[in-house]
Amino acid sequence: MRFRQMLFGVAAVATLLSGCGSVRDKRMSYNPTNFSAPDELPVQDMLATYRVGPGDVVTVSVFGVDSLSGDRAVDPAGNLTMPLIGAVPAAGKSTQELGTELASRLGARYLQQPQVTVTIKTAVARTVTVDGSVGAPGLYPVPDKTTLLKTIAMARGTSQGANPKKVVVFRQINGQRNAAAFDLTTIRDGIDPDPVIYANDVVVVDGRETNATWMALLQAVPVIGLFARVY
């Protein structure tokens, strides 16, 4: 993500996530009408940091060996199957890393100094970041979009001490970093709709375990840009 390329102030943590009780933040709107679909990342930006995932199709080119070259799909377990070497773990690797791995395995027994390149033909796996007071913070694959409740479930739900009434979603819209607040309790009760979460969104659950993760996250978001368009 481009988060690492930006600078921001740690003071924003206190501004947005003050307090740990299970209450809504009165300073934030819980009716994000203008929180629309995110900007589409340029292909070159996406591929620069893209990690192969289940369902992706890659083109493998082994120089001088047509029988080993061709399109290959990554199976649900995250493996790529190649002649001679069988199943090779592919999920989570960049195309360069995967090419190096294939060359290493082919060179170990079958070819002398093989030249292997891997390119993305069809990209399926994208990720959403879940952080804060959840059971397992991290990056989770989504095909294109999902819902907030499903996203929280992928991260093993909210942790003890979480504030389910204040979940903040960050998204880039029209070139600006936007944020919107959601209340998991009213969504679960069917009072509010379960919002759509898109690939590249960042979902943060407020609570006792949130401060450290927000310190790392907010260092990548300019404070002015962050709060200029919070709905």
Model confidence at 5, pLDDT cuts 50, 70, 90, reads: very low
CB atoms within 10 A of CB 158: 21
CB atoms within 10 A of CB 15: 13
Q: Alpha carbon of 65 to those of 2, 80, 120: distances in Å?
A: 38, 18, 20
* DSSP notation for 164-186: EEEEEEEEEETTEEEEEEE-HHH
Pairwise CA distance, residues 155 & 153, whole Å:
5
Average pLDDT for the chain: 77
Greatest alpha-carbon pair distance for the chain in Å reads 66
What are the structure tokens assigned to 199, written together?
């690939």
Residue 97 scores a pLDDT above 90: yes
Query: Which domains, and CATH codes, for the chain?
Result: 2-42+125-228 (3.10.560.10), 52-122 (3.30.1950.10)
> Averaging pLDDT over each range in 96-105, 131-140, 168-177, which range is the top one?
96-105
Q: pTM score, two decimals?
A: 0.56
CB atoms within 10 A of CB 78: 20
Q: Provide the CB-side half-sphere exposure for 131 (13 A, CA).
A: 20
| Three-state DSSP state, 85 | coil
Residue 104 scores a pLDDT above 60: yes
CB 166 within 8 A of CB 25: yes
Rounded to an integer, the average pLDDT of 110-119 is 95
